Structure 1
Amino acid sequence: MLTHFLAIPELDLTSEGFRYATFYTSEKTIASEGFEFPRKRMVGKQAEYCFEHYLKHHPSYELLAANIQIQGATETIGELDYIIKNRISDKLIHIELACKFYLFDPNLNTANTASEVGKTASWIGPNRKDTLSEKLSKLSEKQFPLLYKAETLSVLEKMGVSTQSMDQQVCLKAMLFFPKQFNAQDLLKEYQQNIEGYYISFTEFLKEINNEATYAIPDKKEWLLPVEELEKWHFFSEISTWVEVQLNKKKSPLLYKKSGEHIEKFFVVWW
């Protein structure tokens, strides 16, 4: 399961003018000794656990600090995700980690040309609670500048860490989904490697009745598991009512559809 997480592609946004470089988990076969996937944690915490294990066991990196709470006069003003040292270059790097599921909404696209289709403003969370552009704004305006606040410098000084010449990079593990009838080749090429599947409405879902196929609906805490780890599979008649219940709660469930050896991964959206 660690290998499965590490294989999720990082989304590189430097071509769109995002100023921070991408940190890649380039080594996919990190030793898994002592690793036990935290199934009961939320997706974000699962990603943190996997990523921290990666940093601790990668021969080229030394993990100096993780999840550093920065306190202001009366409250916590922020948190730095990771500070590492590259053993080869001797360079210090501040890394912000994110693991996200985003859906491409053509209605949010303001591009005038096909080559611009899929820019950051068009990607939104399954329940429309966050967007890729908002995440990048938060990184640029809050999380990365936090490194240079007086309160942060004081904390790091006590740890013996200097911010002078420190690089700042983002590791954005992104799984992207697009409308089923949309041509994924129209997306910017930087996004295409991150495509995991598609999404459909409940009306479209009902039209796809297939009595031969079986379906799995992982709990959100299971979204990072490889499909081989999913044990409960159901026929369409069993699953459709459950899907409708979730949609009525304005929750877009993630589903897997197995037809013989073929497996599809998709969301059914309430919007």
Structure 2
Amino acid sequence: MQTISKQYIGYKATPVLWKKKNSWGLTQFTLSKSDVPPFNAVVNVPLRLGKLVERFVSFDLCLQDDVDILAENIQIQENKRTLGEIDCILKQGNQYIHLEIVYKFYLYDPEVGATEYEHWIGPNRKDSLIDKLTKLKDKQLPLLYNPATIPYLDNLKIAPETIAQHVYFKAQLFVPYNTITHVFGDLNPDCIAGVYIHFNALSHFKDSKFYMPKKLNWLCNIEMQVPWLTFFDFKEKIKPLILNKTAPLCWVKQPNGLTLKCFVVWW
């Protein structure tokens, strides 16, 4: 099976981060068909992970009987300055929808913030769920109503006030290793994809084997037929990343044969 097909299957298996509308007022988009067909669209690689997911979502939208894609990746410009990008304008049934597409990896840190949303941060602590939600609510979604967007909508013969705004927000969530964490209210607990552990605590897995997938393959489900590394070899391989304050995602195969996804963090 081609790698991109495996990435697509992993994307499809990732749940949405919340159901319907969350407490931020952001409405989750719903696909009427959720089956997993063979992915056969043409993708010009290499792409960043976020752009690859956009291609997967576009493929899914084209399979929906009730969806027509009207425009994708609309660069909104004003006086030769790019104000932002609208991911997708579509029509679902009789409803026009501005859709923003998000796929993220977040780790639960109880020391950050005080609310359910504030505790989820990026693996390298450079971004957070709160940052993304704020950007969606204050920048990306309001772009639809910017005067510079009107000509693009006029070309589609759509008035902005007739367009609903949805997000398609999928995420893999990771909780501290060996910690039972009851942290879900608004968010979807089905998004838990694995654990994270500090580099200095890796000895918990000293009898396990490891594989470090490339960034695009973070989407993928764990495979068994990969070149597994011993504990010692893996630790030596990731040491430069840890020193560079980069948290890698790895697959762990434990002595009992069970596998899990695990971020190894430096913080």
For the criterion TM > 0.5, the same-fold answer is: yes
1:261 to 249, 257, 260: 257
Change (3 A) 1:28 1:228: farther
Cα displacement (A) at 1:193 = 1.2
For residues 185-221 of structure 1, give each alpha carbon's deviation from its aligned partner in whole angstroms, at most 9, with x where no partner exists: 34336331111111110111134311xx321101112
Give the unaligned 5+ runs of structure 2. Answer: 1-5
2:91 maps to which residue?
A: 85
Change (3 A) 1:72 1:47: same
> 1:83, 1:95 within 8 Å by CA — same for their partners in 2?
yes
Q: How many residues align?
A: 260
2:36 is aligned with 1:40 = no
Q: How far apart, CA to CA, are the structure 2 residues paired with 1:38 and 1:187?
A: 38
Change (3 A) 1:233 1:28: farther
Q: How far apart, CA to CA, are the structure 2 residues paired with 1:57 and 1:107?
A: 43
1:109 maps to which residue?
A: 113
> 2:211, 2:251 within 8 Å by CA — same for their partners in 1?
yes
Q: Secondary structure at the match of 1:193?
A: helix
Cα displacement (A) at 1:4 = 2.7
Change (3 A) 1:57 1:236: same
Q: Secondary structure at the match of 1:140?
A: helix
2:66 to 54, 60, 84: 60
Q: How far apart, CA to CA, are the structure 1 residues paired with 2:134 and 2:79?
A: 25
1:131 maps to which residue?
A: 128
Cα displacement (A) at 1:166 = 1.2
2:117 maps to which residue?
A: 120
2:169 maps to which residue?
A: 172
Change (3 A) 1:65 1:252: same
> 1:215, 1:239 within 8 Å by CA — same for their partners in 2?
yes
1:27 maps to which residue?
A: 33
For residues 25-45 of structure 1, give each alpha carbon's deviation from its aligned partner in whole angstroms, at most 9, with x where no partner exists: 452325436236777322111
> 2:14, 2:170 within 8 Å by CA — same for their partners in 1?
yes
Change (3 A) 1:160 1:84: same
Change (3 A) 1:109 1:13: farther
1:231 to 226, 232, 237: 226
Change (3 A) 1:189 1:150: closer
1:242 to 225, 232, 237: 237
1:71 maps to which residue?
A: 77
Give the unaligned 5+ runs of structure 1. Answer: 112-118
Structure 1, 177-186 or 238-247: larger mean CA deviation: 177-186
Q: Secondary structure at the match of 2:136?
A: helix
* 1:202-213 equivalences in 2 (<5 Å): 202-210=199-207, 213=208
Q: CA RMSD in A?
A: 2.1
Q: How far apart, CA to CA, are the structure 1 residues paired with 2:210 and 2:170?
A: 25
Change (3 A) 1:171 1:152: same
For residues 153-202 of structure 1, give each alpha carbon's deviation from its aligned partner in whole angstroms, at most 9, with x where no partner exists: 11110122332321101111111111113213343363311111111101
1:187 to 155, 172, 184: 184
> 2:20, 2:29 within 8 Å by CA — same for their partners in 1?
no
Identity level (%): 31
Q: How far apart, CA to CA, are the structure 1 residues paired with 2:247 and 2:44?
A: 23
Change (3 A) 1:250 1:76: same
Letter in 2 for 1:48: E
TM-score by length of 2: 0.90
